[in-house]
Amino acid sequence: MPLATINGIQLNYQVKGSGDLVVMIMGTGSPGRVWDLHQVPALLAAGYRVCTFDNRGIAPTDECADGITIEDMVADTAALIEHLGGPAHVIGTSLGARVAQELALARPELVRKAVFLAAHGRRVALQKALSEGERELDAQGITLPASYRAAITAVLNLSPASLVDQMAAQDWLDIFAFSKAETSRGVRAQQNLDDFGDRLAAYRRITRPCLAIGFADDRLVPPHLAAEVAKAIPGANYVELPECGHYGYLERPDAVNSAILDFLTG
C-alpha cells in the first residue's frame, strides 16, 4: 500500500483494478486489508476499481492517538476520493458505515452510491454498556485470557449458524485467540467514537442512492438499527441477510457481495 499525505495525515491505501471507483471503509480496530478476503475480488471481477485503506488510528496510517472525531474520518475519506479522482461508490461497515453515512450527507458530490453494512444512526443500551465495559477493562489494564477473549469475540460477532459445525467454530476461535490482544492508542481513539447521539433526523437530508444492510444475528449492531437508517434516508433500500452476525461480510461473503453488486449495478 502506498502512503500519501491525505487531509493532513499519512494515510495508507491500496488501489486495484480499473473502472468506476469504489472506496471501502473498515470498522473499528480493523485494517483495510480485511476487505481483500472476499469483497475486493468480487468487485474486481465485476469491473470496478477498488480502493481500501487503513483509517486513522490503524498503523501505518497515522494513529492520531490524541483524539479522533467522526468529522476527521469523513474528511479523510473525502480527501482520498478527491486524491483518486472521484466521485466514488462508497462501502462501509460498522464504524465505516457511519463514516459513509456522514460522507453521503456532508459531501454528496463525492458519492455515486453508498452501501452501509451494519448501518446505524443511534446506539442502544447494550451497545453503550459494552463500550463502557471495554473502556473500563482497558483503563484498569485488564487483559482477558486468550481463550475467553476468543469466545466472547465469537459470541458477539458471529451468527450461531457459523458455530454449529465444530471444526468451523474451532477455526474461528483459533483466529480470534491469535489476534492481537493489546489495544493500541489509535484503536482506543477509534473506540471513543462509540459515544454519539441520534443521527436519524439528519439522514433525512441524504440525497444519494443508498443501501443499508442489516445482519439478522448481529448482536453488536442489531438489524433494526440498519432498517431505521434505510427508513430515514429518502428512497434508500434495505436488505437483511439471515445467518449473519456482525462479521457477516466474512461469514456469508457471497450473499453480501451479491447484495452489494446488485445495488451498484442496478
Distance of CA 39 to the CA centre of its chain: 12
**How far apart are alpha carbons 11 and 5 in whole angstroms?**
6
Q: How many CB atoms sit inside 10 A of residue 214's CB?
A: 26
Cell readout for 79 is 480527501
Q: Which residue in the list 94, 131, 159, 162 is annotated as catalytic?
A: 94
Cell readout for 59 is 498503523
The contacts of residue 180 (CB under 8 Å, 6+ apart) are none
Q: Which residue in the list 20, 72, 89, 246 is annotated as catalytic?
A: 246
Cβ(111)–Cβ(103) under 8 Å? Answer: yes
94 tagged catalytic:
yes
246 tagged catalytic:
yes
218 tagged catalytic:
yes
Q: Which residue has the cell 480485511?
A: 34
Supply the residues annotated as catalytic: 94, 218, 246
